[in-house]
Amino acid sequence: MERIEHTTISTNGINMHVTSIGTGPVILFLHGFPDLWYSWRHQLLSFAALGYRAIAPDLRGYGDSDAPPSPESYTILHIVGDLVGLLDSLGVDRVFLVGHDWGAIVAWWLCMIRPDRVKALVNTSVVFNPRNPSVKPVDKFRALFGDDYYVCRFQEAGEIEEDFAQVDTKKLITRFFVSRNPRPPCIPKSVGFRGLPDPPSLPAWLTEQDVSFYGDKFSQKGFTGGLNYYRAMNLSWELTAPWAGLQIKVPVKFIVGDLDITYNIPGTKEYLHGGGLKKHVPFLQEVVVMEGVGHFLQQEKPDEVTDHIYGFFEKFKTRETSSL
């Protein structure tokens, strides 16, 4: 881990913390909630050894990157703008792209808005959901799952932060990471995250050192930056109206665990396997469902995920080399 380089670059009005290692074609890794660049630690080292330059930033609001206070500063256009500025700052024209959770949502939109900057995409956990012109996303979740659904609970500024503050940060992080319940997470206010049972002992893929790293960073930064992504969802919906109906036209591989809550949202399996995703992502080439794997698949099964990513990107790396 000490070989990973840490830098700070200025992009889109913020300072972004960026980690990188290796030389060769660039792979950009995007994390989700409640996560950091650190969730890609295994892949960073592996891909550097495989002949790639692996880059993983702390996205806006996380870790050692700036965290503007207002939710209005966290629309999908802000985050995509941060990444375009990051690539420009590094002098990188086009990248191989990998996303997870919120990072997957950002990756879908980066490919839609700036396909000229992406060679190919491996996305994980969150399928592309086209913009529904008749209903805002938070309203849709509320109608499906009620006010206690976590996305709805995250909307009120300060309320969930106060709830989180009543739980030891390391315990809270552990609860998020080790959950194996694929049902939609609904947390009544009367219970709160503070009222959830203590997490079980750590699985083999998550160490005390890992939990301490996350816990220390979120204790310093707080969770508001990450929560603001959820609070900007409806505003992002309004701002992305000009791109309604566009397809994502980069080569794509999609990976998800069968115990991931995102895979078990009603209708998702049918959409993914019945041609719905392919309709909106016409260059979708592979779909992989990892058995017995939860949400944080890149940490839970790092070698398998690395193999999936490597096998897909190598096809395009070979094509580039042969065309020179």
Q: Which residues are catalytic?
A: 101, 230, 295
Q: Which runs of E-coded beta strand occur in the chain? A: 5-11, 14-21, 26-30, 53-57, 95-100, 118-124, 252-257, 284-290
Q: Work out the burial of residue 20: count CB atoms within 10 Å of its CB; fewer than 13 is exposed, 13-18 middle, 19 or more buried.
A: buried
Q: In terms of DSSP bridges, do strands 95-100 and 26-30 run parallel, antiparallel, or are they unpaired?
A: parallel
User: How far is the C-alpha of 197 from the C-alpha of 184, rounded, in Å?
Assistant: 17
Tokens 């998550």, residue located: 206
User: How far is the C-alpha of 289 from the C-alpha of 285, rounded, in Å?
Assistant: 14
- N-terminal to C-terminal alpha carbon distance within the chain: 34
CA dihedral 149, 133, 108, 250 (to 10 degrees): 150
Residue 296: closest CA among 40, 54, 105, 98? 40
Q: Which runs of E-coded beta strand occur in 81-129? A: 95-100, 118-124
* Residue 20, φ and ψ in degrees, nearest 5: -155, 155
User: How far is the C-alpha of 72 from the C-alpha of 236, rounded, in Å?
Assistant: 9
User: How far is the C-alpha of 245 from the C-alpha of 279, rounded, in Å?
Assistant: 11
**Structure token pair of residue 108:** 């879908």
